[in-house]
Structure 1
Amino acid sequence: MRLAALRHAVPPGLPSRAGCDACGAPVGLTRPWPALGPAARCGHCRARVGSPPGTVEVAVLAAAVLLAFGGPSGGALPALIWWLGWTIPAIFVDVAVHRLPDRLTLPAAAGTWLLLGVAALDADPGHWLRAVLGGTGLALFFASTALLLGRRGFGLGDAKLALSVGALLAWYGWPVLLFGMLLTFGLSALVSLGLLVTRRANWSSHLPFGPFLLLGTVAALLLAS
């Protein structure tokens, strides 16, 4: 996950990062340490590489604990695991450069829909239909704000992430989808208000929305299970 966040945390239009920004030393699966470890340091120049030290590992550990002790049971669990595996690095990219890359959001959506479809074979097929409608509807809502409001609306990356978010939440029912969105927007509003009060942001500041989608979705699923 740290490698995915490192690769894609670049501004739009630039190629994926292949190594250390400071010295150019390559970073990859063949040379994972210490750049892809919790220290997140280049093995050559010791400069920080990618997401802050320990953050990705803490996020993965938190996800594992939640899945083990409070996650939803049943056939939808593989879909949630798949979704987290792609969405966690996407969120780190969003925090770093304010974008959600297609190479992370689209596989997250495709795999989530597919695994929910497999789960529907042993459950009510209506669950999968509701998931498809929920994901499509939520994505269209986010996309419409991007097209109609421009920078004042949500990004198209948020819309693509919503394909999987809406599907996961709607699988458990329309009230869960609504509750998840209320949590997402409520958390976003609270954080925005806090930043305004402390003067760490102003009315024209743009906050990444991906982290709120992740937290709102996970919270709604935990409370619904």
Structure 2
Amino acid sequence: MISPLIRMAALRYAVPPGLPSRTGCDACAAPVGLTRPWPALGPAARCGRCRARVGPPPGTVEVALLAAAVLLALTGPPGGALPALIWWLGWTVPAVFVDLAVHRLPDRLTLPGAAGTWLLLGVAALDADPGHWLRAVVAGTGLALFFASTALLLGRRGFGLGDAKLALSVGALLGWYGWPVLIFGLLLAFGLSALVSLGLLATRRASWSTHLPFGPFLLLGTAGALPWAL
């Protein structure tokens, strides 16, 4: 049931900025929903009516969910910040698929993800050191302001405002576990971004002016840093 929901969210919001959310298959207009015929909600990523290819590539959502399950298993037993991590993954995974498709992180995915993450970390702080939550708030706010400032000052050469909104939750999650974890997660994100950029340049699949979506690297950096923190 989770996989169709993530595919549906990615399908609906993977549209260029300024356009309304997608309501159905581009080829036959079959509506997006959880009742047949629905487009692209199965692993084959094909419309249930016309069989046109729509949404994230086949199998990618399932692989992402498997990776998320491994991450959750590595973070330990339920409790603490684990509910916040589950909530964050539920909103961030479809947001990253949208970012990969159209280079945007929609507010309808990043903002609920950030709000719920902050709230659940606040609940976790009731049974832990309240300083954890204060640090998470400072880290999330500071990281978001940094990303937003580059968007405003550097334009297309900086991060997008969608990245700044995703940073609200990324910074909070990493900051909960401490400043070294936050720094490590960011270094992972920037390092992976640099490696991919160099690889694309070396294979001539991109130029120096190519703008890569940064949401996937924030997700990977967070996923790589959290198990190290435990």
Flag whether TM exceeds 0.5 (same fold).
yes
Aligned-pair CA distance for 1:90: 0.1
Indicate conservation of the 8 Å contact 2:189/2:221, yes or no.
yes
Amino acid at match of 1:137: G
Give the match for residue 75 of structure 2: 71
For 1:136, the aligned partner's letter is: T
Q: CA deviation at 1:46?
A: 0.8
Distance in 2 (CA, whole Å) between partners of 1:31 and 1:109 is 32
Uncovered stretches (5+) of structure 1, i.e. residues with no partner: none
What secondary structure is seen at the aligned counterpart in 1 of 2:62?
helix
Are the equivalent residues in 1 in contact too, given 2:12–2:23 (CA < 8 A)?
Answer: yes
**Structure 1 equivalent of residue 96 of structure 2:** 91
Render the CA deviation track for 1:118-142: whole Å, top value 9, x for unaligned: 0000000000000000000000000
Q: Deviation string for 1:51-83 (max 9, x for gaps)? A: 111111110121112212x12554100000000
Partner of 2:174: 169
The aligned residue for residue 196 of structure 2 is 191
CA RMSD of aligned residues (A): 1.1
Rounded Cα–Cα distance in structure 1 between residues aligned with 2:71 and 2:32 = 30
Tell me, in whole angstroms, the C-alpha distance in 1 between the residues paired with 2:174 and 2:37.
35
Q: Which residue of 1 aligns with 2:205?
A: 200
Runs of 4+ with deviation above 2 angstroms: 30-35
Separation in 1, partners of 2:130, 2:188: 27
CA contact (8 A) 1:72 1:221 kept: no
Match for 2:75: what amino acid? G
Measured in 1, the distance between the counterparts of 2:67 and 2:165 equals: 24
Which runs of 5 or more structure 2 residues have no equivalent in the other structure? 1-5
The code of the aligned residue for 2:18 comes to G
Please list, as runs of the form range in 1=range in 2, the aligned pairs for 1:72-221 lying within 5 A after superposition: 72-73=76-77, 74-221=79-226
- Measured after TM superposition, the shift of residue 31 of structure 1 is 2.6
The code of the aligned residue for 1:101 comes to P
Where 2:222 maps in the other structure, the secondary structure is helix
Does residue 31 of structure 2 align to residue 29 of structure 1?
A: no
- Rounded to whole Å, the distance in 2 between the matches of 1:93 and 1:35 is 14
* Residue among 52, 56, 76 paired with 1:51: 56
Q: Say which SS state the counterpart of residue 14 (structure 1) adopts.
A: coil
TM normalised by structure 1 equals: 0.97
Counterpart residue type for residue 117 of structure 1:
G
Greater shift in the superposed pair: 204-213 or 42-51? 42-51
- The alignment's TM-score, normalised by the length of structure 2, stands at 0.95
